[in-house]
């Protein structure tokens, strides 16, 4: 099945991951949402870095084909410990991290709580500060598994709708329909308020200011899942940060601008 790779044990979770290439370690961290996994986010991007880096693409605890353990509190502390456990299992002392959306938040957590494990950070469409829950995030919580519902939800993510192929919809739907998958997701993202606005909270400014790693912030100008203002907030408050805003681009920067994204990241990592 697409998405199933190697297995290791980290933070008590049987962890699914993919690995290609040799060189300095580079982690590609997926976002959240129904049917998400490291493979669905990064399968077409991994090869863009595997000539020079040891690329590791894990399914974060509770997502994809990594275990979801009933009774476990899933929060940033657990996800950071899970990431450290993966690094330890693979004998990696320090790595660079490309974090997509939720994966970017996990990478920030690692950079704040275990800065000695982080070389460089690349944050794509990453939440920070406080913002009103978007249609994309609300839809992810309210989603009920079906092909039609998956297609409608995915329409909120990219600017270029041609990226939403029947194959991608089918793949995401099948993963989202696994027993317990949607119930697990709902424990990991804020439940929309019955009335009025729902406020989503990411890392505050005080935490961002503690990041010592060189950081590249990348965001799509038309992102309808995580507002571009979050990217600007990160870039303004991380001491050593640059910001690249892609025009005519939504939440899937790595898929919508694959060549320019890969070039930007390769240059940043090679500096």
How is 248-263 classified by DSSP, letter by letter? Answer: S--S-HHHHSHHHHHH
* Structural domain contains residue 266: yes
Looking up tokens 């994809």, which residue turns up?
64
Measured torsion, CA atoms of residues 130, 133, 134, 137, in degrees rounded to the nearest 10: 110
pLDDT of residue 37: 92
Q: For residue range 140-198, list pLDDT tens digits in order.
A: 999 999 999 999 999 999 999 999 999 999 989 988 998 888 888 887 788 999 888 99
223 has catalytic annotation: yes
Find out whether 223 and 131 touch, Cβ atoms under 8 Å.
no
pLDDT of residue 169: 94
2 has catalytic annotation: no
C-alpha count within 13 angstroms, C-beta hemisphere, residue 138: 14
* Structural domain contains residue 88: yes
Structure tokens at 142: 């309210």
* Structural domain contains residue 223: yes
251 has catalytic annotation: yes
Look up the pTM and report it: 0.95
268: pLDDT strictly greater than 60: yes
* Structural domain contains residue 164: no
* Structural domain contains residue 99: yes
Q: Give the number of other CB atoms < 10 A from CB of residue 162.
A: 6
1: pLDDT strictly greater than 70: no
Q: How far apart are CA 169 and CA 245, in angstroms?
A: 27
- Percentage with pLDDT > 70 across the chain: 100
Q: How far apart are CA 192 and CA 125, in angstroms?
A: 20
Closest listed residue to residue 141, CA positions, set 197, 201, 182: 182
Q: For residue range 10-66, list pLDDT tens digits in order.
A: 999 999 999 999 999 999 999 998 989 999 999 999 999 999 999 999 999 989 899
10: left (phi over 0), alpha (psi -120 to 50) or beta: beta
- List the domain range (segments joined by +) for residue 255: 6-131+203-270
Q: What is the CA radius of gyration of the chain?
A: 17
Q: How far apart are CA 86 and CA 78, in angstroms?
A: 12
Q: Structurally, how many domains does the chain consist of?
A: 1
* Structural domain contains residue 168: no
Q: For residue range 238-266, list pLDDT tens digits in order.
A: 999 999 999 999 999 999 999 999 999 99
CATH code for the domain of 43: 3.40.50.1820
What number is the average pLDDT over the span 191-214? 95
* Structural domain contains residue 225: yes
Catalytic member of 101, 171, 176, 255: 101
* Structural domain contains residue 185: no
């Amino acid at each position: 099945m697409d998405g199933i790779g190697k297995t290791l044990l980290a933070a008590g979770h049987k962890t699914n991951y993919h690995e290609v290439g040799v060189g300095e370690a580079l982690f590609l961290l997926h976002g959240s949402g129904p049917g998400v996994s490291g493979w669905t986010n990064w399968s077409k991007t991994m090869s863009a870095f595997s000539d020079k880096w040891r690329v590791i693409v894990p399914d974060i605890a509770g997502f994809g084909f990594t275990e979801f353990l009933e009774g476990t509190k899933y929060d940033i502390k657990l996800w950071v410990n899970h990431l450290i456990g993966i690094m330890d299992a693979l004998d990696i002392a320090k790595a660079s991290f490309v974090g997509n959306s939720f994966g970017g938040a996990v990478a920030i957590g690692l950079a704040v709580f275990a800065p000695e494990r982080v070389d460089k950070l690349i944050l794509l469409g990453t939440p920070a500060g406080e913002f009103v829950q978007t249609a994309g995030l609300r839809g992810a919580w309210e989603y009920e598994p079906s092909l039609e519902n998956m297609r409608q939800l995915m329409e909120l993510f990219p600017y270029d709708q041609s990226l939403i192929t029947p194959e991608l919809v089918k793949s995401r739907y099948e993963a989202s329909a696994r027993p317990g998958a949607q119930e697990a997701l709902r424990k990991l993202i804020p439940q929309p308020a019955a009335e009025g606005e729902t406020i989503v909270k990411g890392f505050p400014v005080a935490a961002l200011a503690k990041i010592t790693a060189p950081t590249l912030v990348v965001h799509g100008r038309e992102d309808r899942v995580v507002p571009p203002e979050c990217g600007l907030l990160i870039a303004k408050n991380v001491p050593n940060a640059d910001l690249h805003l892609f025009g005519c681009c939504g939440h899937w920067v790595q898929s919508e601008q694959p060549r320019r994204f890969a070039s930007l990241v390769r240059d940043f990592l090679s500096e």
